[in-house]
With several copies, the nearest count.
Chain A
């Protein structure tokens, strides 16, 4: 093997720790920006989704986190691309163009669907699951389980009958 030139050695000496540090940082940031705390608390706009998932078995007992449903788990490349894209979009929108209601994109629905199946493989192994309704089109309340606006969640019936 050709010996490394001193120049390169010098660069490597500098670069390796930097790359390592960067990798650790990215890794840390990736983790940090994938916590429930981060997703739910950083932006005001995310609070309803955060709060509405509190009282669901997924959060309460099973420690299933935002990322388990909302990030791709099958291949790293998709995960990184999706995370960068959606993170950038969320930051942009949050700053310049916050919407009144949040709606999932097709991409994100595909991701959620594959995550449902990932965990619940055995439950659905005997039924057909392609080309039909998505899991959460039947399980409409999972895990953001409420029908009312977060602000008016008291169940009432018209007071007078």
Chain B
């Protein structure tokens, strides 16, 4: 069950945060870990390890995030060794930032949580800066004594409890996914104490998280232009992946992102965690006999399809925001319909963000990604329609004052009454 460890005389102190110390015992893994410092784009089209600005790539995102720090600074993520540099340098962090943000960035975190208890979470971010010294490293995933994979984040243990899963019973293959699920998941700060929490109460799907957020009336911010109470999705990599064909076949994150590589005559797991497009042979060809070119085309072809649909949704969202924004400046706009338009905006942008913030541009589960985006488009266009009707009917003084109450159910029929159109004049 557990991974065999190469024999060694040196020992690693329990929880040792410094990867260099581990590196003395496991030099090959350490060397490949350090390669994450290289920042390559390589074969990748939508990912890669260059911290390019998402906002520059798609300026419409500035509008979608209006009123939220993501509209100011939001970059492509890169290797684990950069985690500290990135979280401290981002302009999203400010004086009001709390320590919950450290949770997924360093092996120094678990001991601190152990020491401080639930007071950890809302402690100001800056206050712990001196005690957090290493970016994500060995101790985040391994037990120092046995080297076995280990869940080090209470946040995942909490979530497993919610789902009724006993972490001790996870198989080795499952652990090869679950160590990643410590961090590559959607989360929110539990309102009472800001504890990092995964919204898995009803299940792992987009709809399940939404259901929980509705239930607890959660919002991340109020949209500056539309005024809608918004949800921010963040990297639901594990959740989206779970709905796909690879998960259904028991393929683990590590199978693709940490493939076995030759080191002399034996193999090690690559610790240069990166886009599998830059290790197609090792990552995919053990299972897929097709050529590298075919595999690359499949990935990028799939991503292109998802991207195209995502862009349609961005356009629809942008239109919806404009419509709500303008309508809201009209004092005659029907309040009830404006609320409805804002709810629709919230729901559609949640769907967009779920796929946009996920990191594989849909590859982890293409069908689910496209389904979610399709729903988003439906809702965004309905938001736009509802906002228009809120003003249109008010301004027009039509016969039927409840016009447009149920967009999506044939509003203009309601507006005119069946066959009653001539009466309007």
Contacts and interface: CB of A to CB of B under 8 A. Distances in A.
Interface of A: 44, 98-101, 103, 122-133, 137-141, 145-149, 151-152, 154-161
A149 B200 contact: no
Interface string B239-265: 001100001111110110001111101
Given A100-B281, A133-B250, A128 B266 contact: no
A156 B174 contact: yes
Contacts of A128: 3-4, 172
Contacts of A125: 6, 266
B160 interface: yes
A100 B3 contact: no
B329 interface: no
A128 B179 CA distance: 15
B94 interface: no
Contact of B265 (A98, A101, A129): A98
Given A103-B289, A138-B287, A149-B255, 5 more contacts: A101-B285, A123-B267, A140-B289, A155-B250, A160-B242
Interface stretch (B72-80, B121-129, B163-171, B306-314): B163-171
Nearest to A94: B265
A13 B263 CA distance: 52
A141 B289 contact: yes
Contact of B287 (A99, A124, A140, A156): A140
A91 to B, nearest CB: 14
Contacts of B170: 159
A55 to B, nearest CB: 12
Contacts of B285: 100-101, 103
A130 B287 contact: no
A141 B261 CA distance: 18
Contacts of B4: 128-130
A151 B165 CA distance: 24
B265 to A, nearest CB: 5
A131 B260 contact: no
Given A44-B266, A131-B1, A158-B242, A152 B177 contact: no
A103 B341 CA distance: 55
A130 B1 contact: yes
B197 interface: no
A138 B286 contact: yes
B269 interface: yes
A94 B281 CA distance: 18
Contacts of A139: 286
A132 B288 CA distance: 19
- The interface centre, meaning the residue of B28, B173, B251, B265 with most chain A CB atoms within 10 A of its CB, is B173
A125 B48 CA distance: 32
A131 B173 contact: yes
B408 interface: no
Contact of A158 (B6, B177, B281, B287): B177
Q: Which 4 A-B pairs have the closest CB atoms?
A: A128-B3, A131-B172, A156-B250, A158-B242
Contacts of A160: 160, 163, 165, 200, 204, 242
19 contacts: A100-B260, A103-B285, A123-B266, A125-B6, A128-B3, A131-B1, A131-B3, A131-B172, A131-B173, A132-B173, A137-B287, A141-B289, A151-B260, A152-B254, A160-B163, A160-B165, A160-B200, A161-B204, A161-B242
A126 B173 contact: no
A133 B255 contact: yes
B347 interface: no
A127 B260 CA distance: 9
A99 B28 CA distance: 18
B267 A124 contact: yes
B255 A101 contact: no
Nearest to B261: A100
B247 A157 contact: yes
B300 interface: no
Contacts of A123: 265-267
Nearest to A126: B266
A44 B250 contact: no
Contacts of B163: 160
Interface string B216-251: 000000000000000000000000011000011111
Interface in B159-190: 160, 163, 165, 170-174, 176-178
B10 to A, nearest CB: 16
A131 B241 CA distance: 21
B304 to A, nearest CB: 16
A141 B254 CA distance: 20
Given A154-B173, A160-B204, A127 B289 contact: no
